[in-house]
Amino acid sequence: MEAEVDKLELMKNPVTLLKELSAIKSRYQTLYARFKPVAVEQEETKSRICATVNKTMNVIQKLQKQTDLELSPLTKEEKTAAEQFKSHMPDL
């Protein structure tokens, strides 16, 4: 799709451009129709993963509190990832 759009931009003749545009439009519509259910599934999976990971993290935190075990502190990326995941949760 991107390649076709680039080709479109290169075109100078408006008439041919218009023709190509309509062709691209039709192709995009078919693609969109195919991928829409996949997108829905993806969202659902994302939310489930978020929930599971958050639960796991909570359990680990509880265990850590109970045992007073020193676990390695969160690195930067881990912190950002954790934040990201927590922000996902209220969306549900």
Partner 1 sequence: MDPIRSFCGKLRSLASTLDCETARLQRALDGEESDFEDYPMRILYDLHSEVQTLKDDVNILLDKARLENQEGIDFIKATKVLMEKNSMDIMKIREYFQKYGYSPRAKKNSVHEQEAINSDPELSNCENVQKPDVKDDLSDPPVASSCISEKSPRSPQLSDFGLERYMVSQVPPNPPQAVNNYKEELVVVTPPSKPSLVKVLKTPKCALKMDDFECVTPKLEHFGISEYTMCLNEDYTMGLKNVRNNKREEATDTESRPNDNVFATPSSTIQQLEKSDAEYTNSPLVPTFCTPGLKIPSTKNSIALLLSKYNSNLATPVAIKAVPPSKRFLKHGQNIRDVSNKEN
Binding site for partner 1 (CB under 8 A): 1-2, 5, 8-9, 14, 17-18, 21, 24, 28, 39, 42, 46, 49, 53, 56-57, 59-60, 63-64, 66-69, 71-72, 74, 77-78, 80-82, 84-85
Distances (CA, A) of 14 to 11, 17, 47, 53, 64: 8, 5, 45, 53, 67
Query: Minimum CB separation from partner 1 for residue 69, in Å?
Result: 5
Q: Toward partner 1, which CB reaches closer, 30 or 72?
A: 72
Q: Toward partner 1, which CB reaches closer, 71 or 89?
A: 71
Query: Minimum CB separation from partner 1 for residue 6, in Å?
Result: 10
Neighbours of 53 (CB within 10 A): 15
> What's the burial of 17, exposed, middle or buried (CB within 10 Å: 0-12/13-18/19+)?
middle
